[in-house]
Amino acid sequence: MFLKKSQLILAGLLVVMASAGVSYAVSASVPSTLLAPGTTRYAFIQKANQLDLTTPQLYHWISAGVTTSVTIPAGKHADVITLFCSVAGTDSFIRVRAFIGSTLLEPSGGLNGVNLVMAPTMGQNECISFQKAGVSAGTKNVNVYWLGISTNSHLMNRSLVVILNIH
């Protein structure tokens, strides 16, 4: 008899807990920063060779050598997210910035870019993400540029992942 009662109590508790969980899941709010669903496309490129700054390249923005092309269909827009990673080393600093076509992705740090690595380091994995909402239709190159002030600056094992939410 006690066993039957405890089974009924346990079953009742499970029903209450399950319905509370369903109620919570149904009433959970969607964050306002979540973008509307659309078609998602991806592009990526990876390079293992080492890029070193030379004297003529100092204080000049140069390509990180991981350019990829993406297409946003006619009549559509895309929210663009790029992820750039590299084993970076310098005895000063390395700044980076990213573009899709001629559009600067955020955070841009203005025309100064944003710091990827600051001195001194001889090689550590560094990653940064960039984004831009509402990029117009067309086929565009996505590229990362870097700037350093020391010939002792290098990028190795670079990768660029581009994610498009097309709507």
Q: Could you read off the pLDDT tens digit of each residue along the chain, which spans 167 residues?
A: 544 554 545 444 444 444 555 444 455 566 666 667 688 999 999 999 999 999 999 999 999 999 999 999 999 999 999 999 999 999 999 999 999 999 999 997 766 889 988 878 788 899 999 999 999 999 999 999 999 989 999 999 999 999 999 99
Q: Where are the beta strands (DSSP E) in 58-120?
A: 62-63, 68-90, 93-100, 103-104, 114-118
Cα(163)–Cα(83) distance, rounded to whole angstroms?
9
Which pTM was predicted? 0.78
How many CB atoms are located within 10 Å of the residue 81 CB? 18
Name residues whose C-beta falls within 8 Å of residue 129's C-beta, 6 or more positions apart in sequence.
81, 82, 83, 84
